[in-house]
């Protein structure tokens, strides 16, 4: 006779709705109860900025009455003048859903606006996007962007300036290895690099764009902040403009993208006023890049760039965002961005992550750019787990394998 089994307890990873529903079904509840119980097991923390006193107090009381919590400034309790507060709203999805319904009945327009924002933030999945002739379904897998540097001074030592044949050969090799997009850049953006003229950038990139548009079926991206370069590349068949300055450098760039109905990658950057430090193995990196609220300020800047794009006629559905790891941030700040990457989903756009061979990896591992394959692999796996939709990489074959296995774990 078998002995009595002891009671067994374990913590369930409930941040995944799929896992939660699977665990609920294993217990064997009534079928109708699954849809009711699932939202009660998924917890969210949402930050909402710029609430007036009255709205903040109502929001807090309504969420408290539903078993959640709202953190607001102690200034609100003293009702000091026209003070505003930021808020952290904490609760289950079920509590948020009940809160949203109640906020829509309030007479204050700001609370109706808050309800709209909360509704959008709870709807995380992004719609599929057409890039060139290819459809990108963000829920199905992670996509790979292969880097083709046609510069003489790339930080990673892979510059192919002036060698069209080698650049085209590299693009074809990347396509065969499983890349989904090819990103061609003719101006180095490493810390401390010097700008090049539009004429020189055109001389470097256009012959490569022409050839790869004809000789591969992959969408071609052009890594540029210049409207003149973007216009020429798009006219030759490029489908994506990848702007490291988030449409803030060249005022004509957004109109060029809009007229071509191209996809745009909007990256966060800071004016290159931060001090650049150099180390023998890591190369250049920024130090003293000050932020009061790193993730909040990056989100705010990206939101402003998204508005620039939409106001210029670029459809919201054609926008990809990039938090700009390595651009105007210290190595420690880059690690923080990677750790909190999931928060950028709040902007409603697919996320591109560019960590490949970067100096923050070199500083952690004490490795030069060509020795950062394993560090890059770790950052890519962590980034995908946090919600990256596209990863921009130098080592396509290896990172395709990293992405496929990470996807198999996360999306099975």
- Enumerate the active-site residues: 358, 392
Spatial separation of the C-alpha atoms in residues 60 and 70, rounded to whole Å: 5
Q: For the chain, what is the largest distance between any 2 Cα atoms, rounded to a whole number of angstroms?
A: 86
**Residue the block writes with tokens 């997009």:** 181
Beta bridge partners of 90: 45, 69
The pairing of beta strand 143-149 with beta strand 181-185: parallel
Contacts of 407 (CB under 8 A, 6+ apart): 141, 142, 384
Of 267, 275, 217, nearest to 242 by C-alpha is 267
Spatial separation of the C-alpha atoms in residues 203 and 369, rounded to whole Å: 27
The CA-atom distances, in angstroms, between 118 and each of 42, 51, 86 are 15, 13, 14
Spatial separation of the C-alpha atoms in residues 184 and 186, rounded to whole Å: 7
Chain-centroid distance, C-alpha 234: 24
């Amino acid at each position: 006779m078998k002995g009595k089994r002891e009671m067994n307890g374990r913590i369930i990873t409930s941040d995944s709705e799929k896992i939660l529903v699977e665990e609920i079904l294993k217990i064997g509840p009534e079928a109708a109860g699954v849809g009711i119980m699932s939202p009660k097991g998924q917890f969210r923390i949402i930050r909402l900025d710029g609430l007036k006193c009255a709205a903040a107090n109502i929001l807090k009381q309504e969420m408290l009455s539903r078993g959640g919590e709202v953190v607001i400034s102690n200034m609100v309790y003293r009702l000091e003048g026209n003070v505003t507060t930021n808020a952290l709203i904490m609760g289950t999805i079920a509590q948020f859903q009940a809160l949203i319904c109640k906020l829509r009945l309030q007479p204050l327009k700001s609370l109706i606006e808050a309800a709209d924002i909360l509704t959008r933030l709870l709807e995380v999945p992004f719609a599929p996007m057409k890039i060139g002739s290819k459809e990108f379904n963000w829920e199905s897998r992670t996509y790979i962007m292969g880097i083709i540097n046609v510069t003489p001074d790339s930080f990673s030592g892979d510059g192919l300036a002036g060698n069209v044949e080698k650049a085209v050969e590299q693009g074809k090799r990347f396509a065969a290895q499983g890349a989904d997009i090819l990103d061609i850049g003719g101006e180095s953006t490493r810390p401390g690099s010097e700008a090049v003229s539009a004429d020189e950038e055109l001389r470097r990139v256009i012959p490569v764009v022409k050839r790869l548009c004809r000789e591969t079926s992959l969408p071609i991206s052009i890594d540029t902040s210049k409207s003149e370069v973007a216009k020429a590349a798009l006219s030759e068949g490029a489908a994506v403009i990848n702007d490291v300055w988030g449409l803030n450098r060249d005022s004509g760039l957004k109109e060029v993208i809009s007229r071509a109905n191209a996809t745009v990658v909007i990256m966060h950057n800071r004016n290159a006023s931060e001090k650049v430090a150099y180390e023998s193995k890591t190369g250049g990196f920024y130090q003293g890049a000050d932020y009061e609220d790193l993730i909040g300020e990056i989100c705010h800047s990206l939101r402003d760039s998204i508005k620039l794009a939409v106001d210029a006629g670029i459809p919201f559905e054609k926008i990809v965002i990039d938090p700009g790891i390595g651009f105007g941030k210290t190595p420690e700040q880059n690690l923080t961005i990677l750790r909190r990457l999931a928060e950028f989903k709040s902007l409603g756009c697919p996320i591109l992550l560019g960590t490949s061979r970067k100096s923050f990896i070199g500083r952690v591992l004490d490795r030069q750019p060509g020795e950062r394959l394993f560090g890059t692999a770790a950052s890519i796996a962590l980034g995908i787990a946090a919600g990256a939709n596209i990863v921009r990489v130098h080592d396509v074959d290896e990172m395709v394998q990293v992405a496929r296995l990470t996807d198999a774990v996360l999306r099975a």
